Structure 1
Amino acid sequence: MLHYLLDFILGLGIGFIAGLLGVGGGFLIVPTLVLLGEPMHLAIGTSLACIVLSSLSASITHIKRGAVLYRVVLLKEIFSVPFAVLGAYLSSMIAGEKLKLIFALLLLYLAYKMARRDKNIEGNGSEIHYSRVPVVGILSGLVSGLLGISGGVLNVPLFHTFVGIPMRYAVGTSSFALFFTALAGAIEHYQLGQVDVRTAVLLAPGLIIGGRLGALTAHSVRPETLRRAFAGVLILVALKMLL
Protein backbone atom coordinates (compact mmCIF):
# COMPACT_ATOMS: atom_id res chain seq x y z
CA MET A 1 0.00 0.00 0.00
CA LEU A 2 2.82 2.38 0.92
CA HIS A 3 4.49 1.64 -2.42
CA TYR A 4 1.35 2.72 -4.33
CA LEU A 5 1.07 5.88 -2.24
CA LEU A 6 4.70 6.82 -2.96
CA ASP A 7 4.15 6.26 -6.71
CA PHE A 8 1.09 8.52 -6.58
CA ILE A 9 2.96 11.28 -4.72
CA LEU A 10 5.91 11.00 -7.12
CA GLY A 11 3.60 11.22 -10.14
CA LEU A 12 1.68 14.09 -8.57
CA GLY A 13 4.84 16.13 -8.00
CA ILE A 14 6.31 15.53 -11.45
CA GLY A 15 2.95 16.13 -13.13
CA PHE A 16 2.49 19.40 -11.24
CA ILE A 17 5.90 20.73 -12.33
CA ALA A 18 5.22 19.60 -15.91
CA GLY A 19 1.83 21.32 -16.02
CA LEU A 20 3.04 24.48 -14.30
CA LEU A 21 6.11 25.05 -16.48
CA GLY A 22 5.24 23.32 -19.77
CA VAL A 23 8.10 20.83 -19.51
CA GLY A 24 8.05 17.08 -19.93
CA GLY A 25 9.60 16.34 -16.56
CA GLY A 26 12.02 13.81 -18.03
CA PHE A 27 14.90 15.46 -16.18
CA LEU A 28 13.14 14.38 -12.97
CA ILE A 29 11.57 11.07 -14.06
CA VAL A 30 14.67 9.44 -15.59
CA PRO A 31 17.07 9.88 -12.64
CA THR A 32 14.30 8.88 -10.21
CA LEU A 33 13.58 5.64 -12.08
CA VAL A 34 17.30 4.89 -12.34
CA LEU A 35 17.66 5.37 -8.57
CA LEU A 36 14.76 2.94 -8.13
CA GLY A 37 16.68 0.32 -10.10
CA GLU A 38 15.46 0.76 -13.70
CA PRO A 39 18.08 0.32 -16.47
CA MET A 40 18.75 3.62 -18.30
CA HIS A 41 17.09 2.72 -21.63
CA LEU A 42 14.02 1.41 -19.82
CA ALA A 43 13.92 4.57 -17.67
CA ILE A 44 14.02 6.79 -20.78
CA GLY A 45 11.23 4.87 -22.53
CA THR A 46 9.07 4.81 -19.39
CA SER A 47 9.74 8.52 -18.89
CA LEU A 48 8.42 9.30 -22.37
CA ALA A 49 5.27 7.28 -21.67
CA CYS A 50 4.79 9.28 -18.46
CA ILE A 51 5.33 12.57 -20.32
CA VAL A 52 2.54 11.61 -22.73
CA LEU A 53 0.15 11.42 -19.76
CA SER A 54 1.28 14.55 -17.91
CA SER A 55 1.47 16.73 -21.05
CA LEU A 56 -1.95 15.53 -22.27
CA SER A 57 -3.54 16.31 -18.90
CA ALA A 58 -1.91 19.75 -18.78
CA SER A 59 -2.70 20.45 -22.46
CA ILE A 60 -6.44 19.89 -21.98
CA THR A 61 -6.48 22.57 -19.28
CA HIS A 62 -4.35 24.99 -21.32
CA ILE A 63 -6.58 24.45 -24.38
CA LYS A 64 -9.70 25.21 -22.34
CA ARG A 65 -8.02 28.44 -21.17
CA GLY A 66 -7.17 29.37 -24.78
CA ALA A 67 -3.43 29.32 -24.05
CA VAL A 68 -2.27 27.08 -26.92
CA LEU A 69 -1.04 28.59 -30.19
CA TYR A 70 -1.72 25.80 -32.70
CA ARG A 71 0.19 27.49 -35.52
CA VAL A 72 3.33 27.51 -33.35
CA VAL A 73 2.85 23.83 -32.43
CA LEU A 74 2.50 22.82 -36.09
CA LEU A 75 5.51 24.87 -37.25
CA LYS A 76 7.69 23.58 -34.43
CA GLU A 77 6.82 19.91 -34.79
CA ILE A 78 7.44 19.94 -38.56
CA PHE A 79 11.07 20.75 -37.81
CA SER A 80 11.48 19.04 -34.41
CA VAL A 81 10.68 15.50 -35.54
CA PRO A 82 13.26 15.15 -38.37
CA PHE A 83 15.95 16.98 -36.40
CA ALA A 84 15.34 14.75 -33.37
CA VAL A 85 16.07 11.78 -35.65
CA LEU A 86 19.18 13.56 -36.95
CA GLY A 87 20.27 14.35 -33.39
CA ALA A 88 19.95 10.71 -32.37
CA TYR A 89 22.10 9.73 -35.37
CA LEU A 90 24.75 12.37 -34.57
CA SER A 91 24.87 11.49 -30.88
CA SER A 92 27.26 8.63 -31.55
CA MET A 93 29.69 10.93 -33.37
CA ILE A 94 30.00 13.79 -30.88
CA ALA A 95 31.62 13.59 -27.44
CA GLY A 96 28.93 13.55 -24.79
CA GLU A 97 30.84 15.77 -22.35
CA LYS A 98 31.21 18.56 -24.93
CA LEU A 99 27.51 18.37 -25.73
CA LYS A 100 26.58 18.64 -22.06
CA LEU A 101 28.87 21.65 -21.56
CA ILE A 102 27.41 23.51 -24.55
CA PHE A 103 23.86 22.69 -23.49
CA ALA A 104 24.50 23.73 -19.88
CA LEU A 105 25.90 27.10 -20.99
CA LEU A 106 22.89 27.64 -23.26
CA LEU A 107 20.53 26.89 -20.36
CA LEU A 108 22.34 29.33 -18.08
CA TYR A 109 22.05 32.05 -20.73
CA LEU A 110 18.33 31.32 -21.18
CA ALA A 111 17.86 31.39 -17.40
CA TYR A 112 19.35 34.90 -17.37
CA LYS A 113 17.05 35.98 -20.21
CA MET A 114 14.00 34.45 -18.49
CA ALA A 115 14.76 36.17 -15.19
CA ARG A 116 14.85 39.58 -16.86
CA ARG A 117 11.51 41.34 -16.93
CA ASP A 118 10.15 42.26 -20.36
CA LYS A 119 6.76 43.97 -20.20
CA ASN A 120 6.43 44.03 -24.00
CA ILE A 121 6.38 40.23 -24.26
CA GLU A 122 3.63 40.04 -21.62
CA GLY A 123 1.32 42.20 -23.73
CA ASN A 124 -1.32 40.87 -26.09
CA GLY A 125 1.04 38.70 -28.10
CA SER A 126 0.76 40.83 -31.26
CA GLU A 127 4.54 40.85 -31.71
CA ILE A 128 4.98 37.10 -32.01
CA HIS A 129 7.70 36.24 -34.55
CA TYR A 130 6.31 33.14 -36.24
CA SER A 131 9.25 33.07 -38.67
CA ARG A 132 11.52 32.19 -35.73
CA VAL A 133 9.52 29.12 -34.64
CA PRO A 134 11.36 26.74 -37.05
CA VAL A 135 14.64 27.69 -35.32
CA VAL A 136 13.13 26.60 -32.00
CA GLY A 137 11.95 23.38 -33.62
CA ILE A 138 15.42 22.63 -34.99
CA LEU A 139 17.22 23.36 -31.71
CA SER A 140 14.67 21.51 -29.60
CA GLY A 141 14.69 18.48 -31.89
CA LEU A 142 18.48 18.30 -32.08
CA VAL A 143 18.92 18.58 -28.32
CA SER A 144 16.23 15.97 -27.74
CA GLY A 145 17.91 13.52 -30.11
CA LEU A 146 21.46 14.25 -28.96
CA LEU A 147 20.87 14.13 -25.20
CA GLY A 148 17.77 11.95 -24.91
CA ILE A 149 15.66 14.56 -23.08
CA SER A 150 12.37 16.23 -23.90
CA GLY A 151 12.64 19.65 -25.52
CA GLY A 152 10.47 21.36 -22.91
CA VAL A 153 13.39 22.99 -21.11
CA LEU A 154 14.22 24.72 -24.40
CA ASN A 155 10.70 25.24 -25.79
CA VAL A 156 9.40 27.58 -23.11
CA PRO A 157 12.38 29.96 -22.76
CA LEU A 158 12.88 30.15 -26.54
CA PHE A 159 9.17 30.62 -27.19
CA HIS A 160 9.17 33.42 -24.64
CA THR A 161 12.46 35.26 -25.20
CA PHE A 162 13.14 34.51 -28.90
CA VAL A 163 9.70 34.15 -30.50
CA GLY A 164 8.01 36.71 -28.23
CA ILE A 165 5.18 34.56 -26.86
CA PRO A 166 3.70 35.66 -23.50
CA MET A 167 4.72 33.33 -20.68
CA ARG A 168 1.38 31.56 -20.09
CA TYR A 169 0.99 30.93 -23.83
CA ALA A 170 4.58 29.67 -24.01
CA VAL A 171 3.84 27.15 -21.25
CA GLY A 172 0.53 26.02 -22.78
CA THR A 173 1.92 25.74 -26.29
CA SER A 174 4.96 23.80 -25.08
CA SER A 175 2.75 21.35 -23.17
CA PHE A 176 0.71 20.57 -26.27
CA ALA A 177 3.77 20.26 -28.51
CA LEU A 178 5.45 17.90 -26.01
CA PHE A 179 2.49 15.53 -26.16
CA PHE A 180 3.17 14.73 -29.82
CA THR A 181 6.96 14.55 -29.41
CA ALA A 182 6.71 12.24 -26.38
CA LEU A 183 4.02 10.07 -28.02
CA ALA A 184 6.21 9.40 -31.05
CA GLY A 185 9.18 8.52 -28.84
CA ALA A 186 7.13 6.39 -26.45
CA ILE A 187 5.68 4.30 -29.30
CA GLU A 188 9.16 3.63 -30.67
CA HIS A 189 10.53 2.65 -27.25
CA TYR A 190 7.49 0.46 -26.55
CA GLN A 191 8.07 -1.45 -29.79
CA LEU A 192 11.66 -2.00 -28.63
CA GLY A 193 10.44 -3.34 -25.27
CA GLN A 194 11.84 -0.30 -23.44
CA VAL A 195 8.74 0.84 -21.54
CA ASP A 196 7.95 -0.42 -18.05
CA VAL A 197 4.16 -0.43 -18.43
CA ARG A 198 3.55 -1.33 -14.78
CA THR A 199 5.55 1.65 -13.50
CA ALA A 200 3.89 4.00 -15.99
CA VAL A 201 0.44 2.79 -14.90
CA LEU A 202 1.28 3.25 -11.21
CA LEU A 203 2.51 6.80 -11.84
CA ALA A 204 -0.39 7.65 -14.18
CA PRO A 205 -3.02 8.84 -11.61
CA GLY A 206 -0.56 11.23 -9.98
CA LEU A 207 0.74 12.47 -13.34
CA ILE A 208 -2.75 13.18 -14.67
CA ILE A 209 -3.96 14.96 -11.52
CA GLY A 210 -0.66 16.79 -11.06
CA GLY A 211 -0.58 17.90 -14.70
CA ARG A 212 -4.04 19.43 -14.39
CA LEU A 213 -3.26 21.12 -11.05
CA GLY A 214 0.00 22.51 -12.42
CA ALA A 215 -1.70 23.89 -15.52
CA LEU A 216 -4.44 25.52 -13.41
CA THR A 217 -1.77 27.07 -11.18
CA ALA A 218 0.06 28.43 -14.24
CA HIS A 219 -3.02 30.51 -15.03
CA SER A 220 -3.37 31.88 -11.51
CA VAL A 221 0.20 33.01 -10.72
CA ARG A 222 1.88 36.12 -12.08
CA PRO A 223 3.89 35.72 -15.32
CA GLU A 224 6.92 37.14 -13.50
CA THR A 225 6.69 34.35 -10.92
CA LEU A 226 6.45 31.76 -13.69
CA ARG A 227 9.51 33.20 -15.43
CA ARG A 228 11.60 33.15 -12.27
CA ALA A 229 10.50 29.62 -11.40
CA PHE A 230 11.46 28.44 -14.86
CA ALA A 231 14.80 30.24 -14.64
CA GLY A 232 15.46 28.31 -11.42
CA VAL A 233 14.65 25.01 -13.13
CA LEU A 234 17.00 25.87 -16.01
CA ILE A 235 19.83 26.57 -13.57
CA LEU A 236 19.24 23.24 -11.78
CA VAL A 237 19.25 21.30 -15.07
CA ALA A 238 22.40 23.15 -16.21
CA LEU A 239 24.20 22.31 -12.95
CA LYS A 240 23.12 18.68 -13.30
CA MET A 241 24.64 18.64 -16.78
CA LEU A 242 27.90 20.21 -15.58
CA LEU A 243 28.27 18.01 -12.49
Structure 2
Amino acid sequence: MGEKGKIRLTGLVTGFVNGLFGSGGGTLVVPAMERFLRVETHKAHATAIAVILPLSVLSLLIYFWRGEMAWQVALWASGGGIIGGRIGAKLLGKLSGMWLHRIFGLFLLAAAVRMVLC
Protein backbone atom coordinates (compact mmCIF):
# COMPACT_ATOMS: atom_id res chain seq x y z
CA MET A 1 0.00 0.00 0.00
CA GLY A 2 1.34 3.42 -0.94
CA GLU A 3 1.79 6.40 1.37
CA LYS A 4 -1.49 8.06 0.33
CA GLY A 5 -3.32 4.78 0.85
CA LYS A 6 -1.91 4.49 4.37
CA ILE A 7 -2.95 8.07 5.11
CA ARG A 8 -6.48 7.45 3.83
CA LEU A 9 -6.79 4.19 5.76
CA THR A 10 -5.60 5.92 8.93
CA GLY A 11 -8.24 8.62 8.38
CA LEU A 12 -10.96 6.06 7.68
CA VAL A 13 -10.31 4.04 10.84
CA THR A 14 -9.89 7.19 12.94
CA GLY A 15 -13.16 8.64 11.63
CA PHE A 16 -14.98 5.37 12.26
CA VAL A 17 -13.81 5.17 15.87
CA ASN A 18 -14.48 8.87 16.46
CA GLY A 19 -18.01 8.57 15.07
CA LEU A 20 -18.79 5.33 16.90
CA PHE A 21 -17.57 6.36 20.33
CA GLY A 22 -17.98 10.14 20.14
CA SER A 23 -14.22 10.54 20.50
CA GLY A 24 -11.20 8.33 20.80
CA GLY A 25 -9.84 8.81 17.31
CA GLY A 26 -6.71 10.40 18.77
CA THR A 27 -5.86 7.18 20.55
CA LEU A 28 -5.54 5.58 17.13
CA VAL A 29 -4.30 8.37 14.91
CA VAL A 30 -1.21 9.26 16.98
CA PRO A 31 0.27 5.73 17.04
CA ALA A 32 -0.75 5.18 13.41
CA MET A 33 1.03 8.35 12.29
CA GLU A 34 4.14 7.39 14.24
CA ARG A 35 4.33 3.75 13.17
CA PHE A 36 2.82 3.56 9.71
CA LEU A 37 3.40 7.07 8.39
CA ARG A 38 6.70 7.65 10.25
CA VAL A 39 5.67 11.06 11.60
CA GLU A 40 7.87 12.32 14.44
CA THR A 41 6.25 12.05 17.89
CA HIS A 42 5.72 15.77 18.54
CA LYS A 43 4.32 16.31 15.05
CA ALA A 44 2.02 13.27 15.38
CA HIS A 45 0.48 14.64 18.57
CA ALA A 46 0.08 18.12 17.10
CA THR A 47 -1.25 16.83 13.76
CA ALA A 48 -3.81 14.65 15.55
CA ILE A 49 -5.64 17.84 16.54
CA ALA A 50 -5.99 18.83 12.88
CA VAL A 51 -7.29 15.36 12.04
CA ILE A 52 -9.69 15.06 14.97
CA LEU A 53 -11.24 18.54 14.67
CA PRO A 54 -13.23 17.97 11.45
CA LEU A 55 -14.18 14.47 12.61
CA SER A 56 -15.46 15.85 15.89
CA VAL A 57 -17.42 18.62 14.16
CA LEU A 58 -19.09 16.07 11.90
CA SER A 59 -19.92 13.80 14.85
CA LEU A 60 -21.22 16.81 16.78
CA LEU A 61 -23.61 17.70 13.96
CA ILE A 62 -24.90 14.15 13.69
CA TYR A 63 -25.43 13.87 17.47
CA PHE A 64 -27.09 17.31 17.47
CA TRP A 65 -29.53 16.33 14.72
CA ARG A 66 -30.40 13.17 16.64
CA GLY A 67 -31.01 15.16 19.86
CA GLU A 68 -28.23 13.42 21.80
CA MET A 69 -26.46 16.49 23.22
CA ALA A 70 -26.12 17.65 26.83
CA TRP A 71 -25.43 21.28 25.91
CA GLN A 72 -24.82 22.67 29.38
CA VAL A 73 -22.23 19.99 30.09
CA ALA A 74 -20.63 20.51 26.67
CA LEU A 75 -20.31 24.27 27.12
CA TRP A 76 -18.77 24.09 30.60
CA ALA A 77 -16.42 21.26 29.64
CA SER A 78 -15.37 23.16 26.52
CA GLY A 79 -14.33 26.12 28.63
CA GLY A 80 -12.07 23.92 30.72
CA GLY A 81 -10.90 22.15 27.58
CA ILE A 82 -9.78 25.43 26.02
CA ILE A 83 -7.65 26.24 29.04
CA GLY A 84 -6.26 22.70 29.25
CA GLY A 85 -5.59 22.64 25.51
CA ARG A 86 -3.54 25.80 25.70
CA ILE A 87 -1.48 24.46 28.60
CA GLY A 88 -0.98 21.10 26.85
CA ALA A 89 0.06 22.74 23.57
CA LYS A 90 2.68 24.80 25.40
CA LEU A 91 3.99 21.72 27.21
CA LEU A 92 4.19 19.63 24.03
CA GLY A 93 7.32 21.41 22.85
CA LYS A 94 9.00 21.03 26.24
CA LEU A 95 8.60 17.26 26.65
CA SER A 96 10.87 14.70 25.04
CA GLY A 97 9.40 12.08 22.73
CA MET A 98 10.06 9.45 25.38
CA TRP A 99 7.99 11.33 27.99
CA LEU A 100 5.21 11.94 25.48
CA HIS A 101 5.03 8.19 24.86
CA ARG A 102 5.00 7.43 28.58
CA ILE A 103 2.30 9.99 29.43
CA PHE A 104 0.17 9.02 26.44
CA GLY A 105 0.57 5.35 27.35
CA LEU A 106 -0.56 6.03 30.93
CA PHE A 107 -3.68 7.77 29.64
CA LEU A 108 -4.41 4.83 27.36
CA LEU A 109 -3.88 2.33 30.18
CA ALA A 110 -6.15 4.31 32.51
CA ALA A 111 -8.84 4.45 29.83
CA ALA A 112 -8.49 0.71 29.15
CA VAL A 113 -8.76 -0.20 32.83
CA ARG A 114 -11.81 2.04 33.21
CA MET A 115 -13.46 0.49 30.16
CA VAL A 116 -12.88 -3.05 31.42
CA LEU A 117 -13.98 -2.38 35.02
CA CYS A 118 -16.96 -0.10 34.43
Shorter-chain TM band:
0.7 to 0.9
Higher relative contact order (CA 8 A, sep 6+): 1
Give the 3 Å change call, closer, same or farther, for CA 204–149 of structure 1 in structure 2: closer
| 1:144–1:150 Cα contact (<8 Å) kept | yes
- Residue number in structure 1 paired with 2:45: 171
Instruction: Report if aligned partners of 1:155, 1:174 keep a CA contact under 8 Å in 2.
Output: yes
What are structure 2's unaligned runs of at least 5 residues?
A: none
What does residue 61 of structure 2 align with? 187
Give 1:142's match in structure 2, choosing from 1, 4, 16: 16
Question: How far 1:206 sits from its partner (Å)?
Answer: 1.5
Deviation digits for residues 115-172 of structure 1 (CA, Å, limit 9, x no counterpart): xxxxxxxxxxxxxx55421221232233334444331110111111221100111011
Matched AA of 1:212: R
Partner of 2:103: 229
Correspondence for 2:70: 196
What count of residue pairs does the alignment treat as equivalent? 115
Query: Is the CA contact 1:151–1:178 (under 8 Å) kept in the aligned structure 2?
Result: yes
Which residue of the partner structure matches residue 208 of structure 1?
82
Paired residues of 1:133 and 1:163 also in contact (CA < 8 A): yes
Q: TM-score, normalised by structure 2?
A: 0.83
Other-structure match for 1:151: 25
- The residue aligned with 2:112 is 238
Could you say what secondary structure the match of 2:69 adopts?
coil
Distance in 1 (alpha carbons) for counterparts of 2:30 and 2:101: 10
Given that residues 34 and 44 in structure 2 are in contact (C-alpha distance below 8 angstroms), is that contact kept between their aligned partners in structure 1? Answer: yes
Please state how far the C-alpha of 1:213 moved relative to its aligned partner.
0.8
Identity %: 27
Contact 2:23 2:56 (C-alpha < 8 Å) held by counterparts: no
TM-score, structure 1 normalization:
0.43
Task: Give the Cα–Cα distance (whole angstroms) in 1 for the partners of residues 5 and 63 of structure 2.
Answer: 33
Distance 2:31 2:7 in 1: 12
The Cα RMSD (Å) is 1.9
